[in-house]
Structure 1
Amino acid sequence: MYIPPAFRETDLPFIQETMRAAGLANLVTATANGLVCTPLPLFLDEREGDMGTLYGHVAKANPQWRAPPVGEAMAIFMGPDAYVSPSWYAGKSLDGKVVPTWNYVAVHAYGPVEFFENADRLLDVVMRLTDRHEASRPRPWAVSDAPPEFIQAQLRGIVGVRLPITRIDAKRKMSQNRNPKDRANVKAGLSESSDAGEHQVAALIAE
């Protein structure tokens, strides 16, 4: 990922929160037949390794897990993002030399990927993923709500994913390359939007 110095993010707690907040990630592996990518939910276990370890699962019918990866794998997480209108820049009324852009947060986590079929490990991953996404619901559903034999049958149709993170590229592009007036205008413009995602971006812009 191309990251100009002004946009490079190195704050690990912020990076990890971005990964936790992302509902869906993309797992990319390089194989002898080219790149393979699968969208999937991943959860971060911060207790494993200096930067944490990612877990998830793919369908057993997915050929990605059967193709031996060449080198490390990459998990892509997208944080808040929003279109930035040039009408918010002071230069629009001065000389018109302004163009649109996009503000966003992106995290690329790299490491050796492991695919596994052990039923106990798979059940642990499924339960932790489920608990994470059900936690905020008024009446959370739990894996134990389903018949055990049904769950065991479902586990036979998936393969676990484990990616211990060895390095991270993180980018927080939030108008840092603009002057204070422009940043304030972008923040105000996004704050006035009816889109909750644009409000998230506005909150990340430093004036």
Structure 2
Amino acid sequence: MHMPHFKHDRPEDWQALMAAHPLGTWFSTSGAELRADHVPFLFDASHGAHGALRAHVSRANPVWRTPGQSLVVFQGPQAYVSPGWYASKREHGKVVPTWNYAVVHVHGRSRAFDGRDELLALVERLTDTHEARQAAPWRVSDAPAAYIDQLLRAIVGIEITIDRIEGRWKMSQNRSEADRQGVHAGLHQAGSEEGRDVAAWVVDPRLTR
């Protein structure tokens, strides 16, 4: 990552972004080939010095057969920023379009596991996490045990022990207060839900949602 004025060094914000946007793009290598897989991850702060990411993939997916160095990218809210929203456009006109976004890059080393108990614990935790907002949360135990055992045999667990995490929040921090207020108003007027999320981050880049 470059442009240090957009570097974001608050671990609690990294974790909140990963929790809110858990579908990571997992980059790994298989021989000379660079792979990209899209996988929902859980962050486990209790593992190692920097934590770990845990997920599962289909046993038919060859990605688990080549453990090694990995990069997982989590994308938070993002939106186009029109130069017409800046107060400085009216002052001097020296403005251009840009894009606001928040991302987390996680670097680490992967391993695969397929022990039944460890896989079941992972699947239960993933399910409980993502069902928590449902009025009547579904639980793994709601399904027949033989059916769950069949599905567990068809997946492989993934754990990526984290070496380092980098966050980058590009949320108009390099603009004047008047320009930021213009971006905030413009994104709200644009009307998209994601744009409104970015608008909130422009006012307070510490926000994660």
When normalised by structure 1's length, the TM-score is: 0.92
Match of 1:154 among 146, 151, 156: 151
On the 8 A contact 2:21/2:74 being kept in 1, the answer is yes
The one-letter code sitting in structure 2 at the alignment partner of 1:153 is Q
Q: How far apart, in 1, do the equivalents of 2:106 and 2:185 lie?
A: 32
Is 1:11 aligned to 2:10, yes or no? yes
Match of 1:89 among 86, 91, 96: 86
Structure with more of its chain in strand, by fraction = 2
The one-letter code sitting in structure 2 at the alignment partner of 1:165 is I
Match of 2:192 among 190, 195, 201: 195
Q: How far apart, in 1, do the equivalents of 2:152 and 2:45 lie?
A: 25
The one-letter code sitting in structure 1 at the alignment partner of 2:10 is D
Task: Report the counterpart of residue 27 of structure 1 in structure 2.
Answer: 26
Task: Report the counterpart of residue 128 of structure 1 in structure 2.
Answer: 125
Q: How far apart, in 1, do the equivalents of 2:132 and 2:191 lie?
A: 27
Deviation at 1:111, TM superposition (A): 0.9
Task: Report the counterpart of residue 72 of structure 2 in structure 1.
Answer: 75
Task: Report the counterpart of residue 99 of structure 2 in structure 1.
Answer: 102
Deviates more, 1:15-24 or 1:27-36: 27-36
Give the gaps of 5 or more residues in structure 2.
Answer: 205-209
Partner secondary structure for residue 112 of structure 1? strand
Deviation at 1:45, TM superposition (A): 1.3
Partner secondary structure for residue 128 of structure 2? helix
Give the gaps of 5 or more residues in structure 1.
Answer: none
Task: Report the counterpart of residue 207 of structure 2 in structure 1.
Answer: none
Deviation at 1:96, TM superposition (A): 3.8
Match of 1:174 among 166, 171, 174: 171
Residue by residue, what CA displacement relative to the aligned partner does 1:11-33 show, whole Å, maximum 9, x if unpaired? 00011111111141111112322
Residue by residue, what CA displacement relative to the aligned partner does 1:79-121 show, whole Å, maximum 9, x if unpaired? 1111111110134334543221110000011111011111111
Q: How far apart, in 2, do the equivalents of 1:132 and 1:57 lie?
A: 15
Match of 1:143 among 140, 143, 156: 140
The one-letter code sitting in structure 2 at the alignment partner of 1:3 is H
Q: How far apart, in 2, do the equivalents of 1:111 and 1:74 lie?
A: 7
Q: How far apart, in 1, do the equivalents of 2:67 and 2:197 lie?
A: 39
Query: What RMSD, in angstroms, separates the aligned Cα atoms of the two structures?
Result: 1.6
